[in-house]
Amino acid sequence: MSDKSPRVDGAQPPATLDDPHLLPSAKNPKRMEALAALAMLIGMAGFAAFIVVYWINASNYWESATLGIGMLGLGVGVIAWGKYLMPQGPFVEERHDFHSTDDERTAFNAAITGRGGLEVKRRKLLLGIFAIGGGIMTLALIVPGVRSLGPKPAKSEDTEGPVENSLFTTNWKKGSKLATVSGRLVQVDDLEVGGVLTVFPQGFEGSSPDQVILIRLAQLGPNDPPYPIAPPGKTSWGVQGYVAYSKLCTHLGCPVGLYQERTQQLVCPCHQSIFDVNAGCIPQFGPAPRPLPQLPITVDPTGQMRANGSFDQAVGPGFWERP
Protein backbone atom coordinates (compact mmCIF):
# COMPACT_ATOMS: atom_id res chain seq x y z
CA MET A 1 0.00 0.00 0.00
CA SER A 2 1.41 3.32 -0.95
CA ASP A 3 1.46 6.41 1.21
CA LYS A 4 0.00 8.16 -1.76
CA SER A 5 -3.24 6.21 -1.57
CA PRO A 6 -6.17 8.52 -1.67
CA ARG A 7 -7.69 9.26 1.68
CA VAL A 8 -11.22 8.24 2.56
CA ASP A 9 -13.53 11.07 1.86
CA GLY A 10 -16.95 11.71 3.31
CA ALA A 11 -16.10 11.38 7.04
CA GLN A 12 -19.24 11.77 9.11
CA PRO A 13 -19.61 14.38 11.79
CA PRO A 14 -20.12 13.06 15.36
CA ALA A 15 -23.69 12.07 16.15
CA THR A 16 -25.63 14.49 18.31
CA LEU A 17 -28.24 13.60 20.86
CA ASP A 18 -30.99 14.95 18.64
CA ASP A 19 -29.89 12.79 15.75
CA PRO A 20 -33.04 10.99 14.56
CA HIS A 21 -30.96 7.80 14.00
CA LEU A 22 -30.24 7.45 17.70
CA LEU A 23 -32.31 4.89 19.60
CA PRO A 24 -34.38 6.42 22.42
CA SER A 25 -32.35 4.71 25.10
CA ALA A 26 -29.17 6.07 23.55
CA LYS A 27 -30.27 9.63 24.19
CA ASN A 28 -29.01 9.30 27.73
CA PRO A 29 -25.52 8.05 27.02
CA LYS A 30 -24.26 8.39 30.57
CA ARG A 31 -26.90 6.05 31.89
CA MET A 32 -26.26 3.54 29.09
CA GLU A 33 -22.58 3.80 29.70
CA ALA A 34 -23.11 3.00 33.36
CA LEU A 35 -25.38 0.08 32.50
CA ALA A 36 -22.90 -1.33 30.01
CA ALA A 37 -20.10 -0.94 32.52
CA LEU A 38 -22.17 -2.63 35.21
CA ALA A 39 -22.97 -5.57 32.94
CA MET A 40 -19.32 -5.99 32.10
CA LEU A 41 -18.31 -5.75 35.72
CA ILE A 42 -20.83 -8.47 36.56
CA GLY A 43 -19.32 -10.50 33.76
CA MET A 44 -15.83 -9.99 35.11
CA ALA A 45 -16.98 -11.01 38.55
CA GLY A 46 -18.52 -14.14 37.04
CA PHE A 47 -15.25 -15.05 35.36
CA ALA A 48 -13.30 -14.39 38.52
CA ALA A 49 -15.70 -16.58 40.45
CA PHE A 50 -15.34 -19.27 37.86
CA ILE A 51 -11.57 -19.26 38.32
CA VAL A 52 -12.01 -19.67 42.04
CA VAL A 53 -14.61 -22.44 41.94
CA TYR A 54 -12.61 -24.27 39.30
CA TRP A 55 -9.46 -23.93 41.36
CA ILE A 56 -11.08 -25.38 44.45
CA ASN A 57 -12.69 -28.10 42.35
CA ALA A 58 -16.21 -27.14 43.27
CA SER A 59 -19.27 -28.72 41.77
CA ASN A 60 -19.90 -28.61 38.03
CA TYR A 61 -23.04 -26.63 38.71
CA TRP A 62 -21.05 -23.78 40.23
CA GLU A 63 -18.59 -23.82 37.38
CA SER A 64 -21.39 -23.65 34.82
CA ALA A 65 -23.22 -20.91 36.68
CA THR A 66 -20.21 -18.66 37.14
CA LEU A 67 -19.02 -19.17 33.58
CA GLY A 68 -22.51 -18.47 32.31
CA ILE A 69 -22.75 -15.26 34.35
CA GLY A 70 -19.36 -14.17 33.07
CA MET A 71 -20.25 -14.67 29.43
CA LEU A 72 -23.72 -13.22 29.81
CA GLY A 73 -22.53 -10.10 31.61
CA LEU A 74 -19.71 -9.41 29.23
CA GLY A 75 -21.93 -10.06 26.25
CA VAL A 76 -24.67 -7.76 27.44
CA GLY A 77 -22.14 -5.03 28.19
CA VAL A 78 -20.51 -5.24 24.76
CA ILE A 79 -23.82 -5.35 22.96
CA ALA A 80 -25.15 -2.37 24.91
CA TRP A 81 -21.99 -0.48 24.15
CA GLY A 82 -22.26 -1.11 20.47
CA LYS A 83 -25.98 -0.62 20.25
CA TYR A 84 -26.49 2.49 22.37
CA LEU A 85 -23.18 4.27 22.56
CA MET A 86 -21.79 3.91 19.07
CA PRO A 87 -23.10 5.99 16.17
CA GLN A 88 -25.85 4.17 14.30
CA GLY A 89 -26.16 4.04 10.55
CA PRO A 90 -26.99 4.35 7.82
CA PHE A 91 -23.73 5.96 6.82
CA VAL A 92 -22.78 7.09 3.39
CA GLU A 93 -19.25 7.14 2.15
CA GLU A 94 -18.19 8.60 -1.12
CA ARG A 95 -16.68 6.01 -3.40
CA HIS A 96 -13.12 6.93 -4.06
CA ASP A 97 -10.93 5.98 -6.97
CA PHE A 98 -9.33 2.55 -6.56
CA HIS A 99 -7.12 2.99 -9.58
CA SER A 100 -3.38 3.06 -8.83
CA THR A 101 -1.24 5.67 -10.46
CA ASP A 102 1.64 4.67 -12.72
CA ASP A 103 4.10 5.74 -10.07
CA GLU A 104 2.43 3.54 -7.50
CA ARG A 105 2.55 0.52 -9.81
CA THR A 106 6.19 1.04 -10.59
CA ALA A 107 7.01 1.35 -6.92
CA PHE A 108 5.00 -1.77 -6.12
CA ASN A 109 6.77 -3.86 -8.79
CA ALA A 110 10.13 -2.62 -7.63
CA ALA A 111 9.29 -3.59 -4.06
CA ILE A 112 8.23 -7.13 -5.04
CA THR A 113 11.00 -7.97 -7.46
CA GLY A 114 13.66 -6.26 -5.46
CA ARG A 115 12.88 -8.03 -2.22
CA GLY A 116 14.04 -11.51 -3.34
CA GLY A 117 16.43 -10.31 -5.99
CA LEU A 118 14.45 -12.27 -8.60
CA GLU A 119 11.98 -11.43 -11.28
CA VAL A 120 8.78 -13.49 -10.98
CA LYS A 121 9.12 -14.98 -14.45
CA ARG A 122 10.45 -18.50 -13.77
CA ARG A 123 7.14 -20.25 -13.92
CA LYS A 124 8.45 -23.33 -15.75
CA LEU A 125 10.95 -24.00 -13.00
CA LEU A 126 8.28 -23.58 -10.34
CA LEU A 127 5.85 -25.79 -12.23
CA GLY A 128 8.49 -28.47 -12.63
CA ILE A 129 9.38 -28.42 -8.97
CA PHE A 130 5.71 -28.50 -8.07
CA ALA A 131 5.08 -31.51 -10.35
CA ILE A 132 8.06 -33.44 -8.96
CA GLY A 133 7.06 -32.61 -5.43
CA GLY A 134 3.49 -33.74 -6.10
CA GLY A 135 4.77 -36.97 -7.56
CA ILE A 136 6.99 -37.68 -4.58
CA MET A 137 4.13 -36.92 -2.25
CA THR A 138 1.89 -39.34 -4.14
CA LEU A 139 4.56 -41.99 -3.90
CA ALA A 140 4.88 -41.37 -0.21
CA LEU A 141 1.18 -42.08 0.11
CA ILE A 142 1.26 -45.24 -2.00
CA VAL A 143 4.44 -46.89 -0.80
CA PRO A 144 3.33 -47.60 2.79
CA GLY A 145 0.23 -49.36 1.53
CA VAL A 146 2.18 -51.54 -0.89
CA ARG A 147 5.00 -52.14 1.57
CA SER A 148 2.56 -53.29 4.21
CA LEU A 149 1.05 -56.02 2.07
CA GLY A 150 1.79 -59.54 3.20
CA PRO A 151 4.09 -61.89 1.30
CA LYS A 152 2.89 -63.35 -1.94
CA PRO A 153 1.21 -66.73 -1.47
CA ALA A 154 3.57 -69.52 -2.48
CA LYS A 155 2.50 -72.32 -4.79
CA SER A 156 3.18 -75.91 -3.88
CA GLU A 157 5.82 -76.19 -6.61
CA ASP A 158 7.57 -73.16 -5.16
CA THR A 159 8.05 -74.79 -1.79
CA GLU A 160 10.06 -77.68 -0.48
CA GLY A 161 9.17 -79.55 2.67
CA PRO A 162 6.59 -78.06 5.00
CA VAL A 163 4.34 -75.52 3.38
CA GLU A 164 4.57 -72.11 4.86
CA ASN A 165 3.04 -68.97 3.54
CA SER A 166 0.80 -70.89 1.18
CA LEU A 167 -2.82 -70.27 0.45
CA PHE A 168 -2.78 -72.77 -2.42
CA THR A 169 -1.81 -75.83 -0.43
CA THR A 170 -1.58 -76.85 3.18
CA ASN A 171 0.30 -79.50 5.12
CA TRP A 172 -2.69 -81.81 5.13
CA LYS A 173 -2.26 -84.98 3.11
CA LYS A 174 -3.79 -88.42 2.98
CA GLY A 175 -3.09 -90.21 6.24
CA SER A 176 -2.23 -87.09 8.30
CA LYS A 177 -3.20 -87.70 11.91
CA LEU A 178 -5.49 -85.12 13.47
CA ALA A 179 -3.86 -83.49 16.49
CA THR A 180 -4.78 -80.71 18.86
CA VAL A 181 -2.65 -77.59 19.18
CA SER A 182 -0.85 -79.24 22.08
CA GLY A 183 -0.02 -82.26 19.93
CA ARG A 184 -2.50 -84.69 21.44
CA LEU A 185 -3.83 -87.09 18.80
CA VAL A 186 -7.58 -87.11 18.29
CA GLN A 187 -9.50 -90.38 18.71
CA VAL A 188 -12.92 -91.02 17.26
CA ASP A 189 -14.65 -90.97 20.62
CA ASP A 190 -12.98 -87.80 21.90
CA LEU A 191 -15.90 -85.48 21.13
CA GLU A 192 -19.45 -85.55 22.37
CA VAL A 193 -22.20 -85.05 19.80
CA GLY A 194 -22.35 -81.30 19.19
CA GLY A 195 -18.72 -80.78 20.21
CA VAL A 196 -16.05 -78.97 18.20
CA LEU A 197 -12.28 -79.07 18.27
CA THR A 198 -9.55 -77.19 16.43
CA VAL A 199 -7.12 -79.65 14.92
CA PHE A 200 -3.90 -79.60 12.88
CA PRO A 201 -1.97 -82.20 10.94
CA GLN A 202 0.36 -83.97 13.35
CA GLY A 203 3.70 -82.19 13.29
CA PHE A 204 2.24 -78.83 12.25
CA GLU A 205 0.36 -77.94 15.40
CA GLY A 206 -0.39 -74.21 15.52
CA SER A 207 0.14 -73.66 11.80
CA SER A 208 -2.40 -71.03 10.72
CA PRO A 209 -3.15 -72.21 7.16
CA ASP A 210 -3.66 -75.76 8.44
CA GLN A 211 -6.16 -75.05 11.18
CA VAL A 212 -9.32 -77.09 10.82
CA ILE A 213 -12.47 -77.16 12.86
CA LEU A 214 -13.63 -80.68 13.60
CA ILE A 215 -17.32 -80.97 14.42
CA ARG A 216 -19.31 -83.87 15.71
CA LEU A 217 -22.77 -83.12 14.38
CA ALA A 218 -25.90 -83.67 16.39
CA GLN A 219 -28.12 -86.58 15.38
CA LEU A 220 -30.99 -85.00 13.52
CA GLY A 221 -33.62 -87.66 14.16
CA PRO A 222 -34.18 -91.39 14.08
CA ASN A 223 -35.05 -91.40 10.39
CA ASP A 224 -32.50 -88.83 9.28
CA PRO A 225 -29.19 -89.79 7.79
CA PRO A 226 -26.41 -89.72 10.34
CA TYR A 227 -24.44 -87.36 8.17
CA PRO A 228 -25.41 -83.96 6.85
CA ILE A 229 -26.59 -83.45 3.34
CA ALA A 230 -23.12 -83.32 1.85
CA PRO A 231 -22.38 -81.59 -1.46
CA PRO A 232 -22.26 -83.93 -4.45
CA GLY A 233 -19.11 -85.99 -4.44
CA LYS A 234 -18.44 -85.34 -0.78
CA THR A 235 -20.88 -87.71 0.84
CA SER A 236 -18.00 -89.76 2.19
CA TRP A 237 -15.89 -86.80 3.37
CA GLY A 238 -17.32 -87.10 6.86
CA VAL A 239 -17.07 -90.11 9.12
CA GLN A 240 -19.14 -91.37 12.02
CA GLY A 241 -20.91 -88.06 12.40
CA TYR A 242 -17.74 -85.98 12.12
CA VAL A 243 -17.04 -83.34 9.51
CA ALA A 244 -13.97 -81.12 9.22
CA TYR A 245 -13.66 -77.71 7.58
CA SER A 246 -10.90 -75.19 7.15
CA LYS A 247 -11.14 -72.67 9.91
CA LEU A 248 -9.98 -69.77 7.73
CA CYS A 249 -12.91 -67.58 6.75
CA THR A 250 -13.26 -67.17 3.01
CA HIS A 251 -13.96 -63.50 3.50
CA LEU A 252 -10.82 -62.09 5.13
CA GLY A 253 -9.29 -65.10 6.82
CA CYS A 254 -10.46 -64.78 10.41
CA PRO A 255 -10.73 -68.05 12.30
CA VAL A 256 -14.31 -69.27 12.11
CA GLY A 257 -14.59 -70.68 15.58
CA LEU A 258 -18.16 -70.08 16.78
CA TYR A 259 -20.37 -73.13 16.40
CA GLN A 260 -24.09 -72.98 17.02
CA GLU A 261 -25.08 -76.54 17.71
CA ARG A 262 -28.82 -76.00 17.56
CA THR A 263 -28.77 -74.56 14.03
CA GLN A 264 -25.57 -76.33 13.00
CA GLN A 265 -23.98 -73.13 11.81
CA LEU A 266 -20.48 -71.82 12.01
CA VAL A 267 -20.20 -68.08 12.62
CA CYS A 268 -17.21 -65.91 11.80
CA PRO A 269 -16.77 -63.39 14.61
CA CYS A 270 -15.17 -60.76 12.39
CA HIS A 271 -18.03 -59.81 10.06
CA GLN A 272 -20.65 -62.32 11.05
CA SER A 273 -20.56 -64.58 8.05
CA ILE A 274 -22.64 -67.68 8.77
CA PHE A 275 -21.86 -71.05 7.22
CA ASP A 276 -24.32 -73.94 7.05
CA VAL A 277 -22.40 -76.95 8.34
CA ASN A 278 -25.22 -79.24 7.36
CA ALA A 279 -24.87 -78.31 3.71
CA GLY A 280 -21.16 -78.17 2.94
CA CYS A 281 -20.54 -74.93 4.87
CA ILE A 282 -22.00 -72.74 2.19
CA PRO A 283 -22.33 -69.13 3.36
CA GLN A 284 -25.86 -68.28 4.43
CA PHE A 285 -25.25 -64.74 5.56
CA GLY A 286 -22.48 -62.16 5.57
CA PRO A 287 -19.72 -61.16 3.19
CA ALA A 288 -17.99 -64.54 2.81
CA PRO A 289 -18.16 -65.38 -0.91
CA ARG A 290 -17.41 -69.12 -0.84
CA PRO A 291 -18.01 -72.17 1.33
CA LEU A 292 -15.35 -73.17 3.81
CA PRO A 293 -13.15 -75.83 2.17
CA GLN A 294 -13.87 -79.28 3.55
CA LEU A 295 -11.20 -81.69 4.68
CA PRO A 296 -11.96 -85.36 3.98
CA ILE A 297 -11.46 -87.40 7.13
CA THR A 298 -11.56 -91.03 8.12
CA VAL A 299 -10.92 -93.26 11.13
CA ASP A 300 -8.24 -95.92 11.11
CA PRO A 301 -8.72 -99.32 12.78
CA THR A 302 -7.18 -98.04 16.03
CA GLY A 303 -9.75 -95.26 16.30
CA GLN A 304 -7.26 -92.58 15.31
CA MET A 305 -8.79 -89.83 13.19
CA ARG A 306 -6.89 -89.09 10.00
CA ALA A 307 -7.19 -86.94 6.93
CA ASN A 308 -8.29 -88.83 3.85
CA GLY A 309 -6.64 -86.33 1.53
CA SER A 310 -6.20 -82.57 1.42
CA PHE A 311 -8.54 -79.72 0.64
CA ASP A 312 -9.83 -79.60 -2.89
CA GLN A 313 -9.33 -75.85 -3.12
CA ALA A 314 -7.28 -73.06 -1.64
CA VAL A 315 -8.16 -72.16 1.91
CA GLY A 316 -8.81 -68.69 3.23
CA PRO A 317 -9.85 -65.50 1.46
CA GLY A 318 -9.63 -64.84 -2.24
CA PHE A 319 -6.46 -63.50 -3.80
CA TRP A 320 -5.45 -62.54 -7.31
CA GLU A 321 -3.87 -65.81 -8.40
CA ARG A 322 -6.56 -67.97 -6.85
CA PRO A 323 -7.93 -70.41 -9.45
Binding site for ligand FES (CB under 6 A): 249, 251-252, 254, 268, 270-271, 273, 286-288
Cβ contact 80:43 at 8 Å: no
* Three-class DSSP category at 255: strand
Cβ proximity to ligand FES: between 267 and 295 the closer is 267
Smallest distance from ligand FES to CB 172, Å: 21
**In DSSP terms, which residues pair with 216 in a beta bridge?**
242
Measured CA to CA, the distance from residue 224 to residue 40 in angstroms comes to: 87
Q: How far is the CB of 215 from ligand FES (least distance, A)?
A: 17
Of 15 and 252, nearer to ligand FES (C-beta) is 252
Of 241, 244, 243, 246, the C-alpha closest to 256 is 246
| Min dist. Cβ of residue 306 to ligand FES (A) | 28
Contacts of 6 (CB under 8 A, 6+ apart): 96, 97
Q: Which is nearer to ligand FES, 49 or 249 (CB)?
A: 249
Specify the residue, 40 or 266, whose C-beta has the smaller distance to ligand FES: 266
**For residue 14, with 0-12 CB atoms within 10 Å meaning exposed, 13-18 middle and 19 or more buried, which class applies?**
exposed
Q: How far is the CB of 178 from ligand FES (least distance, A)?
A: 23
As a whole number of angstroms, the distance between CA 267 and CA 275 comes to 6
- Least distance (Å) between residue 286 CB and ligand FES: 5
- Residue with Cβ nearer ligand FES (71 or 258): 258
Rounded to a whole number of angstroms, the minimum distance from the CB of residue 248 to ligand FES is 9
What radius of gyration, in Å, describes the C-alpha atoms of the chain? Answer: 41
| Residues in a beta bridge with 274 | 267, 285
Angstrom distance (rounded) from CA 224 to CA 177: 29
Q: Which is nearer to ligand FES, 100 or 284 (CB)?
A: 284
